[in-house]
A = this chain, B = another copy of it.
């Protein structure tokens, strides 16, 4: 469905190709740079071009305000897209049901390959291919971008990355496909249903990274249902019976471990059938912002900026790490002030319990909440700045460092006060209250900040455009014309990846697992939150943001680790909470030492058990393992056949092997 979608809109311009990706150059870009870029994009691959189709977007209808004329639509022939897919090593399903790397030569062995291959690649895949081809469009002999002497180039430098880093290219984004989007959004969030999410459709439209996020969200919700179901009767009937809480807490801890392990299996299954599990990743290019002295990459041999790892380590360990620790200390300090303020407000209320002093009781919490939000925001900017300044070569390592920084701080900000209440104040009633308050407020705030606020902002921004469209609709009663659609999408906010979504789930997981034994209702609240989260996230993806490029992820990456770390911390906190409960204490009336030793022993046993469980549950299901082994075996057999045929029959002049045999 990725080819003949927009043909009807392009009849006027004469050329007949389906636009997939939009390039927006700065409105004051010099003519020579544009001409050069277009020629490089259109040039044959033999000449080092990208061999793609590209044309300028015409002016919008009814333009009164200034429009950027330098918008370009990029597309490609089916043949080119298929070759690009092979180049990327995309895995597709074969007629025999196995997943194999697509090759143009063996195209007819693949399921769903008919005729020219129309509809074989999803639109998201086509857009990913184009993005890859544009990203790997490299400079030849040019020393700078024509017309821009400061935009230096050297042989092998990615042109698009240089244009991006110099601000000549403003953005590059894939186009939405309205028909498909309408179908997807209907099955996803518009109808009220009890069915699962359309993961395959999401993957088809947004790519594997997005689909894995929604798959994880769905899985996480279902996995919490047993905890919620067990939690409700505990909440209703056994409010103060810690004996049974021990059973509940132990169940929770094992359950947390089991669901995280089982998620790995589910994720491997999904990734296998989506073809990302065994796809070989292309060599990762330096990120656009990376700078250094021009040298040669030891792996590729290409010219590339080189920045010494030792310098980066110095920056990480001598600047970023102290900064993060300082921020944590500051956060701790502010927390202590909050508790002092609260104590002070309480003492005023106790002295003189009037309506106004009762209101005063809430003031510290409100101030603290606002300060925390502000700190989170400021810290986020600081973390981004620092991570940028650390000058990581790879986007992935940049992301990992950023995630780590933000994660630690957010974890601290969210949970430090709870830890303080639990282990220093030892006030379980207050802990339960704070936990409930935090959970409910963060849920409401998040849904609002995440989906509805951006939607509202965008609506306001696009008011004029929408009015214009409605005007146009009146006398045409048809679909939005392409030109308008492109300009509309160009103005939408950019989706910044699944970072914040995962962070939210991570914190929710913390609320459920860390203090599960004092507030068994947490799982219920999180399940409810997740159900609305699915809808708000889906809405956000479909209506608020620009379409993001597909991200062929094979797993949820660093977040798996983060969730596992949380579940280890949960063992420690829950054991401590149980050990502190008066009911457990009453078993050891004469000796506190005995009690602590027992608690510590139980904690160690649980940690050991968790560790063994992690080993026993295999990360990849047996049938997927078999399929992977089969792929491996076939390539080895092919190699062996080649040895016997070619070398030993003394046909030693050929050094080719049959790599792919069906």
Contacts and interface: CB of A to CB of B under 8 A. Distances in A.
Interface of A: 45-46, 79-80, 82-83, 86-87, 89, 103-107, 280, 282-283, 298-300, 309, 572, 592-593, 596-597, 600, 604, 622, 626, 629-630, 632-633, 636, 639-640, 643-644, 646-648, 652-661
B644 A298 contact: no
Given A87-B640, A652-B105, A656-B656, A283 B629 contact: yes
For the residues of A in contact with B, the DSSP-based class is: helix
A502 to B, nearest CB: 20
B655 A657 contact: no
Contact of A593 (B82, B280, B592, B604): B592
A661 B630 CA distance: 26
A630 B103 CA distance: 23
Contact of A633 (B82, B299, B658): B299
Given A299-B630, A626-B298, A283 B648 contact: no
B633 A300 contact: yes
11 contacts: A79-B648, A83-B644, A83-B648, A87-B640, A103-B647, A105-B652, A105-B654, A299-B626, A655-B658, A656-B656, A657-B659
| The 3 residue pairs across chains A and B that have the minimum distance between CB atoms | A104-B647, A105-B655, A299-B629
Nearest to A652: B105
A45 B659 contact: no
Nearest to A86: B643
Each complex incorporates copies of this chain amounting to 2
A643 to B, nearest CB: 5
Given A298-B626, A659-B659, 7 more contacts: A45-B648, A103-B655, A104-B646, A299-B633, A300-B630, A592-B593, A639-B659
Given A648-B45, A655-B660, A659-B656, A643 B87 contact: yes
A643 B104 contact: yes
Contacts of A658: 655-656
A83 B647 contact: yes
A647 B300 CA distance: 24
Contacts of A593: 592-593, 596
Nearest to A79: B648
Given A103-B647, A309-B622, A639 B89 contact: yes
Contacts of A298: 626, 630
A600 B423 CA distance: 14
A252 B658 CA distance: 54
A29 to B, nearest CB: 30
A280 B652 contact: no
Contact of A604 (B572, B596, B660): B572
A221 B165 CA distance: 52
A300 B629 CA distance: 9
Contacts of A646: 104-105
A234 B596 CA distance: 32
A133 to B, nearest CB: 12
A604 B87 CA distance: 49
Contacts of A652: 104-105, 107
Contacts of A280: 632, 636
A629 to B, nearest CB: 4
Nearest to A651: B105
Contacts of A83: 643-644, 647-648
A608 to B, nearest CB: 9
Given A283-B629, A652-B104, A659-B656, A86 B647 contact: yes
Nearest to A623: B298
Contacts of A629: 283, 299
A97 to B, nearest CB: 13
A659 B82 CA distance: 21
A658 to B, nearest CB: 6
Contacts of A647: 82-83, 86, 103-105
Nearest to A561: B615
A509 B550 CA distance: 50
A626 B393 CA distance: 14
Contacts of A640: 87
Nearest to A628: B299
A658 B657 CA distance: 7
A652 to B, nearest CB: 5
A625 B583 CA distance: 55
Contacts of A636: 89, 280, 282-283
